[in-house]
A and B are shown apart, each in its own frame.
Chain A
Amino acid sequence: MTWLLIWPILLPLVGAVLAALAGKRRRLSQGIVIVVCVLMTGTAVALLASVWEHGILSMAVGNWAPPFGIALAADLLSAVLAVITGLTGLAVAIYAVVDIDRLRAARGYDALFLVLLAGVNGAFLTGDLFNLYVWFEVMLIASFGMVALGRSREELDGALRYLALNMVATLMFLLAIALLFGSTGTLNMAHLHLVVANGEATGAVVASALLLAVAFGMKAAVFPLFFWLPAAYHTPAFAVSAIFAGLLTKVGVYALLRVFTLIFSAQDDLVEALFWPVAAATMVFGVLGAACQAEIRRILSFHIVSQIGYMLIGLALLTPIAMTAAVFYLIHHIVVKANLFLVAGVIHRYCRTNDLAGTGGLVKRAPWLAVLFLVPALSLAGIPPLSGFWAKLLVVQASLDAGDLAMAGIALVVGLFTIFSMMKIWNEAFWKAAPADGTAAQPNRRSLQTLCFPIAMLAVLTICVGLGAGPALELAERSSAQLLDPSAYASAILGETFVLAHAPETVAGDLP
Chain B
Amino acid sequence: MEPFLAVAIGLLVAVAAYLMTDRHMVRILFGIAVLGTAVNLIVFVSGDVTRGLPPLISTGVFGPDQGVANALPQALVLTAIVIGFGLFSFALALVFKVAQRFQTADVNAIGAAEGPFQRSGRADTRTPEPDAPVDQERAA
Of the candidates B43, B114, B126, the one whose C-beta lies within 8 Å of that of A231 is: B114
**A163/B134 contact (C-beta < 8 A), A175-B42, A178-B39, A352-B124 known:** no
B112–A174 CB distance below 8 A: no
**A357/B113 contact (C-beta < 8 A), A134-B79, A154-B126, A171-B39 known:** no
B43–A141 CB distance below 8 A: no
Interface size class of A (residues with CB under 8 A): 35 or more
The yes or no answer to B7 lying at the interface (CB within 8 A) is no
A159–B48 CB distance below 8 A: no
Q: Kindly list chain B residues whose C-beta atoms are within 8 Å of the C-beta of A298.
A: 116
CA distance A130 to B76 in the complex (A): 8
CA distance A351 to B4 in the complex (A): 63
Q: Kindly list chain B residues whose C-beta atoms are within 8 Å of the C-beta of A437.
A: 122
CA distance A182 to B48 in the complex (A): 8
Q: Kindly list chain B residues whose C-beta atoms are within 8 Å of the C-beta of A294.
A: 116
**A156/B134 contact (C-beta < 8 A), A130-B76, A358-B122 known:** no
Chain B positions 94 through 136: 1 when the CB is less than 8 Å from some CB of chain A, otherwise 0 = 1101100110000100111110100111111111011111100
B90–A141 CB distance below 8 A: yes
Chain A positions 348 through 375: 1 when the CB is less than 8 Å from some CB of chain B, otherwise 0 = 1000111101100000000000000000
The yes or no answer to B19 lying at the interface (CB within 8 A) is no
Give the nearest-CB partner of B82 in chain A.
A137
A512–B49 CB distance below 8 A: yes
A156–B42 CB distance below 8 A: no
A225 to chain B, nearest CB (A): 16
Q: Which of these binds chain B: A79-87, A144-152, A321-329, A452-460?
A: A144-152
The yes or no answer to B11 lying at the interface (CB within 8 A) is no
By CB atoms of chain B within 10 A, which of A140, A151, A159, A170 has the most? A151
B119 to chain A, nearest CB (A): 7
A354–B124 CB distance below 8 A: yes
Of the candidates B25, B36, B113, the one whose C-beta lies within 8 Å of that of A234 is: B113
A157–B98 CB distance below 8 A: yes
B111–A160 CB distance below 8 A: no
CA distance A40 to B48 in the complex (A): 42
A447 to chain B, nearest CB (A): 14
Give the nearest-CB partner of A298 in chain B.
B116
B14 to chain A, nearest CB (A): 15
Q: Kindly list chain A residues whose C-beta atoms are within 8 Å of the C-beta of B101.
A: 151, 153, 156
The yes or no answer to A161 lying at the interface (CB within 8 A) is yes
A181–B94 CB distance below 8 A: no
Interface size on B, residues (CB 8 A): 54
Chain B positions 8 through 46: 1 when the CB is less than 8 Å from some CB of chain A, otherwise 0 = 000000000000000001001000100110011011011
The yes or no answer to B83 lying at the interface (CB within 8 A) is yes
B113–A439 CB distance below 8 A: no
B116–A167 CB distance below 8 A: no
Give the nearest-CB partner of B43 in chain A.
A178
Chain A positions 167 through 197: 1 when the CB is less than 8 Å from some CB of chain B, otherwise 0 = 1101100110111011001010000000000
A178–B122 CB distance below 8 A: no
A353–B124 CB distance below 8 A: yes
**A156/B97 contact (C-beta < 8 A), A103-B134, A512-B48 known:** yes
Give the nearest-CB partner of B29 in chain A.
A164
Report 29 cross-chain contacts, Cβ distance below 8 Å, ordered by A residue: A103-B130, A104-B130, A130-B76, A140-B87, A152-B129, A154-B112, A155-B126, A156-B94, A156-B101, A156-B102, A157-B110, A157-B113, A159-B98, A160-B95, A160-B107, A167-B32, A168-B32, A170-B87, A171-B32, A174-B40, A177-B76, A178-B42, A181-B47, A181-B73, A185-B70, A292-B116, A348-B124, A358-B123, A435-B122
Please list the residues of chain A having a beta carbon within 8 angstroms of any beta carbon in chain B.
101, 103-104, 130, 134, 137, 140-141, 144-145, 148, 150-161, 163-164, 167-168, 170-171, 174-175, 177-179, 181-182, 185, 187, 231-232, 234-235, 292-295, 298, 348, 352-355, 357-358, 435, 437-439, 511-512
Knowing that A160-B98, A167-B87, A178-B73 touch, tell me 20 more A-B residue pairs with CB under 8 angstroms.
A103-B131, A130-B76, A141-B86, A141-B90, A153-B112, A160-B25, A163-B94, A171-B35, A174-B43, A179-B46, A181-B47, A185-B70, A298-B116, A352-B127, A353-B124, A355-B122, A357-B120, A437-B122, A438-B122, A512-B49
Please list the residues of chain B having a beta carbon within 8 angstroms of any beta carbon in chain A.
2, 25, 28, 32, 35-36, 39-40, 42-43, 45-49, 70, 72-73, 76, 79-80, 83, 86-87, 90-91, 94-95, 97-98, 101-102, 107, 110-114, 116, 119-127, 129-134
